[in-house]
């Protein structure tokens, strides 16, 4: 269908919640996406940090194709393939146990390579290898997963778990401290946790039970705990605030949150929807700080583009949930978990944590050399570049970059944001930087 017809249908029948750029994408391959007119673009946004293995990655395509022909959905009332396997990988990764994760990923890759038509004994041996690699060692911290469909939904589940844990095992409080400038999603509860007036104002009254704290202000956090004794069940934070402009929390504030939360029987709830799944240079951004949350929420890259989210919590906290406390029709569907298993397996085996750290450091250096760039923030392949006033509005820079053949994004009038696929190489960064140099001018 022609671009004009598609655009007209969209404008006639779609709710105008997004301002769209004047391009229709129809296919992709690796770092590139192709438009309906045949033009190709270098993708440094990856569907807002989602397509972590780029477009049409063979391992993801194979896993999805196999699953589509087998079974799409049966509900959470039944056991299915891949759901527990992907959760086991998340548990190893939450412990930053790359050796254990690699053993499991290798076993999963070997089993996937056998296909469904393998001889019974070969299949049984491959299953045994997966089971052995997935079995927790004595004393290993196990993390349990609830599969959701999106980041907002994962955060809803994480907040419900924190409140339930507090009621059953903690101080009984139900207040969640959230940070100013945060972004946690678009449902009413996650808007209530999103401490930005422009995102909240139109939707008041919002659900209660939230208190705002300024990021990196330990004194304010201490005062909040002092003013609300026995009432706070969790502190919720993005290790690097993404939507408000790629602002990492300081290591001192991380430690302060940990100390205060645990001294007050409250939980640490890390929203790793944007920072997680290898983007920061570690499996999860909290590992770049060394402060481990009790619960984390994931989405975006977790299934490489298939809608999926996850609440991942330490077993002793996760087991507060009993049947009936939480649920989802679609969460953890056969398709989503087949994709998640394939994506996580590939990320582990390709050591995309190290690649994101290395290519990210290079990109950071190159972006900092560009005209009009005053600061580069972020970690790994989650980067923001601050522009000076002479650069003009960052949204116009994004539009000119698109015109010149590269997809990036702005989080405000002065910040460019980069969330490329983790397959991004230094040569791709060179291409991006050459285009931006041209777009930004002298
Ligand atoms: C940190 C964070 N949390 C939650 C969300 C919401 O995720 P979703 O759009 O999948 O609901 C986002 C989306 O950008 C995010 O960046």
Ligand 1 centroid from CA 401, angstroms: 24
- CB-based contacts of 229, cutoff 8 Å, min separation 6: 264
Residue 301 CB–ligand 1 contact under 6 Å = no
| Residue range 368-417, pLDDT digits in tens | 999 999 999 999 999 999 999 999 999 999 999 999 999 999 999 999 99
Instruction: Give the mean model confidence (pLDDT) for residues 228-244.
Output: 98
The CATH number of domain 143-349 is 3.40.190.10: no
2 pLDDT tier (thresholds 50, 70, 90): confident
Q: Tell me the per-residue pLDDT of 410-419, one tens digit each, with 9 for 90 and over.
A: 999 999 999 9
Q: Is residue 82 lining ligand 1, measured as CB closer than 6 Å? A: no
Atom nearest to 182 CA in ligand 1? 1
What residues does CATH 3.90.1150.10 cover in the chain? 3-56+352-440
- The edge-to-edge listing of strands for the beta sheet with 406-407 is 25-29, 32-35, 40-43, 406-407
Element at 43 (helix H, strand E): strand 40-43
d(CA 207, CA 220): 23
State the greatest distance between any 2 C-alpha atoms of the chain, in Å, as a whole number.
68
> Predicted confidence band at 230 (pLDDT cuts at 50, 70, 90)?
very high
- What average pLDDT score do residues 286-314 get? 98
Look at residue 86 and tell me whether its pLDDT is greater than 80: yes
Q: What is the mean pLDDT of residues 15-35?
A: 97
| Residue 426 near residue 362, CB atoms below 8 Å | yes
Nearest to 45 by CA among 56, 32, 36: 32
Predicted confidence (pLDDT) per residue in 261-276, tens digit: 999 999 999 999 999 9
Q: How far, rounded to the nearest angstrom, does the alpha carbon of residue 387 sit from its chain's CA centroid? A: 25
Query: Is 185's C-beta closer than 6 angstroms to any atom of ligand 1?
Result: yes
325 pLDDT band (50/70/90 cuts)?
very high
pTM score over 0.85: yes
* Percent of the chain at pLDDT exceeding 70: 100
* 151, 409, 411: residue to mutate for ligand 1 pocket, most atoms within 8 A of CB: 151
Question: Is the distance from CB of 395 to CB of 20 less than 8 angstroms?
Answer: no
Confidence (pLDDT) at 115: 84
Stretch(es) of the chain classified as CATH 3.40.640.10: 143-349
Tell me the CATH number for domain 3-56+352-440.
3.90.1150.10
The whole-angstrom separation of Cα 234 and Cα 42 is 40
Q: What is the mean pLDDT of residues 224-239?
A: 98
Question: Residue 1's pLDDT is what?
Answer: 65
What mean pLDDT is predicted for residues 352-381?
98
Q: How buried is 268 (Cβ within 10 angstroms: 0-12 exposed, 13-18 middle, 19+ buried)? A: buried
Element (H, E) at 339: helix 334-349
Per-residue pLDDT of 237-258, as tens digits, reads: 999 999 999 999 999 999 999 9
| 263 close to 253: Cβ distance less than 8 angstroms | no
Return the pLDDT at 116: 83
Structure-token pair, residue 332: 């953890």
Span 80-94, average pLDDT:
98
Mutating to test ligand 1, I would choose from 299, 304, 384 the residue with most ligand atoms within 8 A of its C-beta, which is 299
- SS3 for 371-386 is CCEEEEEEECCEEEEE
Residue 11 has pLDDT above 70, yes or no: yes
């Amino acid at each position: 269908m022609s671009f004009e017809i598609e655009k007209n249908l969209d404008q006639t029948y779609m709710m105008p919640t997004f301002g769209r750029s004047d391009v229709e994408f129809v296919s992709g391959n690796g770092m590139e996406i192709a438009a309906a007119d045949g033009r190709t673009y270098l993708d440094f946004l990856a569907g807002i940090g989602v397509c972590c293995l780029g477009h049409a990655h063979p391992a993801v395509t194979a896993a999805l194709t196999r699953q589509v022909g087998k079974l799409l959905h049966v509900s959470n009332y039944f056991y299915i393939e891949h759901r527990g396997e992907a959760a086991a990988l998340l548990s190893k990764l939450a412990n930053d146990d790359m050796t254990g994760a690699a053993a499991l990923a290798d076993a999963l890759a070997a089993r996937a390579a056998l296909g469904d038509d393998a001889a019974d004994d070969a299949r049984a041996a491959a299953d045994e290898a997966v089971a052995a690699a997935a079995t927790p060692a004595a004393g290993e911290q196990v993390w349990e997963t609830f599969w959701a469909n999106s980041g907002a939904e994962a955060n809803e589940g994480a907040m419900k778990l924190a409140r339930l844990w507090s009621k059953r095992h903690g101080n009984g409080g139900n207040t969640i401290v959230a940070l100013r400038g945060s972004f946690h999603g678009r449902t009413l509860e996650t808007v209530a946790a999103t401490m930005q007036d422009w995102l909240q104002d139109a939707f008041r009254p919002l659900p209660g039970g939230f208190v705002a704290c300024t990021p990196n202000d330990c004194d304010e956090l201490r005062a909040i705990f002092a003013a609300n004794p026995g009432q706070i069940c969790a502190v919720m934070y993005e290790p690097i605030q993404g939507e408000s402009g790629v602002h990492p929390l300081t290591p001192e504030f991380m430690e302060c949150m940990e100390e205060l939360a645990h001294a007050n029987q409250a939980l640490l709830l890390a929203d790793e929807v944007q920072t997680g799944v290898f983007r920061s240079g570690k499996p999860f951004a909290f590992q770049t700080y060394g402060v481990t949350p009790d619960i984390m929420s994931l989405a975006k890259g977790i299934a490489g583009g298939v809608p999926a989210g996850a609440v991942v919590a330490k077993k002793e906290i996760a087991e507060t949930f009993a049947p009936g406390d939480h649920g989802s029709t679609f969460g953890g569907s056969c398709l989503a978990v087949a994709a998640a298993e394939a994506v996580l397996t590939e990320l582990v085996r390709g050591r995309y944590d190290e690649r994101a750290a290395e290519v990210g450091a290079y990109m950071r250096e190159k972006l900092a050399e560009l005209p009009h760039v005053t600061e580069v923030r972020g970690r790994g392949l989650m980067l923001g570049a601050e522009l000076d006033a002479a650069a003009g509005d960052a949204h116009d820079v994004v539009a000119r970059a698109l015109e010149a053949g590269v997809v990036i994004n702005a989080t405000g009038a002065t910040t460019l944001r980069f969330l490329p696929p983790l397959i991004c190489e230094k040569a791709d960064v060179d291409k991006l930087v050459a285009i931006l140099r041209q777009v930004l001018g002298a």
